[in-house]
Structure 1
Amino acid sequence: MRAQPPPPAPWADAGLVSGEAVELDVRAARLGSRVLALLIDLVAQLAVALLLSAALSVLVLSLPGDIMDAALAGGMQLVLLVLVLVGYPVLMERFAGGRTLGKLAVGLRVVRADGGPVGVGQSLTRALVGVAVEWPGLVLPLLSWAASVTVMLSDPRGRRLGDLVAGTLVVHTRGAGGWRPAPPPVPPLLGWAGTLDLTRVDDGLALAVRQYLGRVHQLARPDRVRLGRELWAEVAAVTSPPPPWSAPEPAYLAAVLAERGRRAAYRLGRSRAVTATLWPELMPAPATAPAPAVLRPAAPSRAVPHQPDPVRGQPTSVDARR
């Protein structure tokens, strides 16, 4: 299947291929996202170092004075440094599926060069190479930093020295492109779609149609036409009656998918209505907007009973007498 020419910033640039020889839509992590993840990891490592330092201080104070000496203190500090710089990334990638706290926040993951999960040996190799020549760079810091940045910028998949040595790759786990909605059905086909028998259209076939309609703009002719005809042949074999007139296959598929979604929404609405009738306590209370403030009208003037005027003998109001 041939696709149209890719945009200037292609999505599937990691070069990962599944066991079925299908290229995966995975984007390789570049310098910007990886530096952001590194900064978050540095904050996490600093917090871990502070906690371990506090625990080490308590341990040192609890030891007898004749046991604690400069050599033991230096050894404990070295173990603390190794745990923070090497143990943190290795343990996090081992138990978090190739991700550290920084990679979790940014949406990155370390995988093997073939797309498989990263192993402990590979994580350890990445961490040791990183500590030695990348960050903090114990061997020629400034020169190793410049070499690391140069390698990442020149590598097609943005790998650093540790990735090249360990045979790993850092990829994005979140999609960068927006999900395009399925094209709307053609109005003349809506009446025909309402008469269809869709009982044999299973979820797998409907999902294949949805994915085709969502990515039809990425396919080039004649593969776009061929795939549409194949999908419509599968749908037409399990639906009836046939369409009344000739139209492109994507129009038929869009009408069938829209009608299937409309019926599913109708069934869901009826089910919720029955549930609300039988078990109203299971349904969430509808959010009601606060009632607007109503200005109360002024109190109407009360009619004052008329009393007879003692002089003229005519009824007059109390207010008039006052």
Structure 2
Amino acid sequence: MDNKNTCTWTTISVTSYDRTTISVTSYDRTTISVTSYDRTTISVTSYDRTTISVTSYDRTTIPVTSYDRTTISVTSYDRTTISVTSYDRTTISVTSYDRTTISVTSYDGTTIPVTSYDRTTISVTSYDRTTISDYYISNFFDGTTIPVTSYDRTTISVTSYDRTTISVTSYDGTTISVTSYDRTTISVTSYDRTTISVTSYDRTTISVTSYDRTTISVTSYDRTTISVTSCDRTTIPVTSCDRTTISVTSYDRTTISVTSYDRTTISVTSYDRTTIPVTSYDRTTISVTSYDRTTISVTSYDRTTISVTSYDRTTISVTSCDRTIIPVTSYDRTTLPVTSYDMTTIYQISN
């Protein structure tokens, strides 16, 4: 039977050496096993309940396209480029070693487990109820870049270690869970009812931008920088520990809850009917600016500096304990604790 076009319960095993081009197309419950060595190009297309196992070595290019309940297992070594596109309830398992580029696109109920080692670039795009899991075995190590884009009720779980860059963009009812360790940069942008949970450890930079009824939960430890921008009815709970810088900007009926411990700098700017409860402990600097009917509640402990500026019918409640400095400036019918101008009620509790 011809190895290039096979039908009906066929097994295909292909091994190539030394600058070979392999094109394989299979239909109807076929198993394809491909092993290539030394600058080989492999093109595999499968239809209808096919299992594809591909192993490549030494500068190989592998484009794979699968349709209709296909299982794809790909392992690559040494500067390999893998491009995988799957449709209709496909399972893709990709493992790469040593400076590999992996591009994965999946549609309609696809599961993609991806494991990469040693300076790998992984680009994953998923559509329509796809689960992306890249933490199976050993996660990401050593200078990895992970850009992820998801659409339509996708769950993304990303865990990274050791100088990793993670860029996640999600649309339409997506859940994103990101955990990073050791000098990681995380950039997350979400649209339309997305849940984002981010936990970072050890000198991580987190940048989160969310739109349209998004819930963001951010927890950071040990010299982390967190920048959060939210628009349109967003909830942002943020907890930071150990010399963290938090910058939060919110627009349009946003609730921001910020708790910081141990020499944290918090900068909060809110617009348009925002509620901001802030609690800080242990030598924290808090700078808060609010506009247009905002409620700000600030509680600080242990040598904290709080700077609050409010405009246009803002309510600010500040409670401070233990050698705290609170400079407050308010304008236009604001309720404030310290210094006020223009028909303002002032109250302050200090110990």
Q: Same fold (TM over 0.5)?
A: no
Structure of greater relative contact order (alpha carbons < 8 Å, 6+ residues apart): 1
Whose Rg is larger? 1
Higher helix share: 1
TM-score (norm 2): 0.19
TM-score (norm 1): 0.20
